[in-house]
C-alpha cells in the first residue's frame, strides 16, 4: 500500500520545482528566489528529506555518451510461489535500473541499460535461468522520444 501523501505548502512546492530543474541550486539562491532566509530553505529541505519527499540528488547521465546505447524493458512472468525471492534476485542485478510490480499477465517490469545487444542477450539469459522465472517478453527501445525525470507538483 502506498504511503499517505504529505501536506506541502506553496514554498515546499516551489523548492521542489527549483531542485528538480537543477539539484545544484544553492540554498542561498533558492532563498533569494523565494524571498526567504537561507536557514528557512535549509530547514525545509531537511524536512522534505526526512519525510521522504526528496529522496536524493543525482546527476542526469546520458547513457549513450558513456557507451551504454541499448535500452530495453523486460516483462517477466514469475511463479507466484517463488515471487519474493525471484524479485529480490532480479533487482540485485547491476544492469537493472528500474523495477515495477505490475498487473496483468506478467508480474514484473524492469528497465535495463546496457552496452549492446550482446550484453542484453546475456542479461536475458541470466534472468531466464533464474528459479521462478517462467517467461520474459522484451521490448527493445529504438528511440527515446520523451524522458522526464521530474514530477509535476500540484
53-85 per-position pLDDT tens digit = 999 988 889 999 999 999 999 999 999 999 999
Question: Is residue 115 a contact partner of residue 64, using CB atoms and an 8 Å limit?
Answer: no
Q: If one looks up domain 10-50 in CATH, what number appears?
A: 1.10.10.10
Torsion-angle region of 67 (φ positive above 0: left; ψ -120 to 50: alpha; else: beta): left
The span from the CA of 103 to the CA of 108, in Å, is 8
Q: What is the pTM of this model?
A: 0.86
In the numeric block, which cell numbers belong to residue 55?
529522496
Annotated domain spans of the chain:
10-50, 67-140
Give the pLDDT confidence score for residue 135 in this predicted structure: 98
pLDDT tens column, 117-141:
999 999 999 999 999 999 999 999 9
Q: If one looks up domain 67-140 in CATH, what number appears?
A: 3.30.70.920
Amino acid at each position: 500500500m502506498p504511503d499517505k501523501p504529505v501536506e506541502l505548502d506553496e514554498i515546499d512546492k516551489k523548492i521542489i520545482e527549483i531542485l528538480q530543474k537543477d539539484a545544484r541550486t544553492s540554498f542561498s539562491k533558492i532563498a533569494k528566489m523565494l524571498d526567504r532566509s537561507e536557514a528557512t530553505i535549509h530547514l525545509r529541505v531537511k524536512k522534505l528529506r526526512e519525510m521522504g519527499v526528496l529522496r536524493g540528488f543525482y546527476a542526469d547521465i546520458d547513457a549513450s555518451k558513456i557507451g551504454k546505447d541499448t535500452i530495453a524493458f523486460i516483462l517477466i512472468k514469475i511463479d507466484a510461489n517463488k515471487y519474493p525471492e525471484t524479485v529480490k534476485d532480479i533487482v540485485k542485478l547491476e544492469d537493472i535500473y528500474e523495477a515495477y510490480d505490475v498487473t496483468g499477465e506478467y508480474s514484473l517490469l524492469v528497465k535495463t541499460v546496457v552496452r549492446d545487444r550482446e550484453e542484453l542477450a546475456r542479461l536475458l539469459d541470466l534472468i531466464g535461468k533464474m528459479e521462478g522465472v517462467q517467461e520474459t517478453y522484451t521490448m527493445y527501445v529504438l528511440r527515446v522520444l520523451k524522458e522526464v525525470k521530474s514530477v509535476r507538483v500540484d
